[in-house]
Structure 1
Amino acid sequence: MRTKLINNLLALALIGATVGAAAPPAAQSGDFRWSGTVAEGNTVEIRGVNGSVRALASEDGLIHVEATRRAGRSDAESVRIEVVEHDEGVTICAVYPSPPDAARANECRPGGGSINVRDNDVEVDFLVRVPAGVRFAGNTVNGNIEVERLRSDVRAATVNGRVSVQTTGFVSRAATVNGDIELAMPAGLNAEFHASTVNGSIDSDFPIVVTGRF
């Protein structure tokens, strides 16, 4: 039996169901590709702003990242894709031009960084292939996050968009403000999991414990 919750404020969930989506098209395009490795248990982190993040299982033991830049009136090449390798894995970001009056320059930093997007309509869609045992962290602001058939732990967060996660690993976080959350994990998994949405629903084939108002 499927449980569906329509949310007005906040939900904390225990496990869930399936599939996700994509971002709207634009005019110009520019492509970026990167392949590499990190140790098992370390993390590949994607940090976008405008655009979708999609993660699939890698079949060759390598991390593969493709980024497609699209724009209407802005220059797609004005947004650079930056790779930061560090002790805990690799972080790959869409770095937009810093506004002249910005207090801090935009930067790519593991777990954070400064993001200030003004008068720039470039969208960057990420496609990531993740090896088994390598953790995945996907972040964007305006766009969907779709994780399919991974064999590793997952964190996923957006502000305006849907979050969809399908993995055999542990999901430590799935969050959105405006959008639905759909989750699929193995039957019999014994783990506490936190999912939150402000304006959206949480779909699950598993029992859900809810805190907050509906």
Structure 2
Amino acid sequence: MGDSDSYWSAVRATRLRIADLLEDLTPAEWEQESLCRGWRVRDVAGHLASVPTITTWDMVAVAPRARFDPDRINTVLARRHGSREPGDLVAAIRRHAGTRRTAKVLDTRNALFDVIVHSQDIALPLGRQFAVPAEHSREGLQRVWDMGWPFHAQRRLAGYALRATDADWAVGAGPRISGPTLALLLLATGRTAGLDTLHGDGVDRLKSSSAHR
């Protein structure tokens, strides 16, 4: 997936599949909490619908209300767009599925892992399946591993050997955590929903350390 056309083709395909998933949800499912802390399913949809067209000014305008915290800014905007009608959100995601831009203060290199992770934020709490090609998850995982803020995956997972079982991806040394790239991507972004699909002595250690925090 080295060239940008392949990257954006993967982003577009994932966005369209998320739109299909959302279109199939019941009203109650739209209101359910997602894996993204503090966000309902509709807030995740609002985020995905707005990312391709959001501007830096949109973010600056809500910054005082969000106490100038980037995570809070993201949440304010997600909830604002999430208040729109479900049909409007689905249509917006489809309409901008192929858009290759976002606010200048954001990074389009985050687009693929963002849609992949948020697809799971929606699907998993609802007991729904949303498969992701391993090569797409691997691309997203490598980006998260390299980027530092806001996930700090290398720092949080220091002392573990992470090994993908469905792609050529391995980092670190220590107790082993092995499994699908999608589960490793969720782990790297601070989510524990994929732990049951991971294995190795590092998984038990990770669960134990999390339980004592």
TM over 0.5: no
Relative contact order (C-alpha < 8 Å, sep 6+): which is higher? 1
TM-score using structure 1 length = 0.30
TM-score using structure 2 length = 0.30
Structure with the bigger percentage of helix: 2
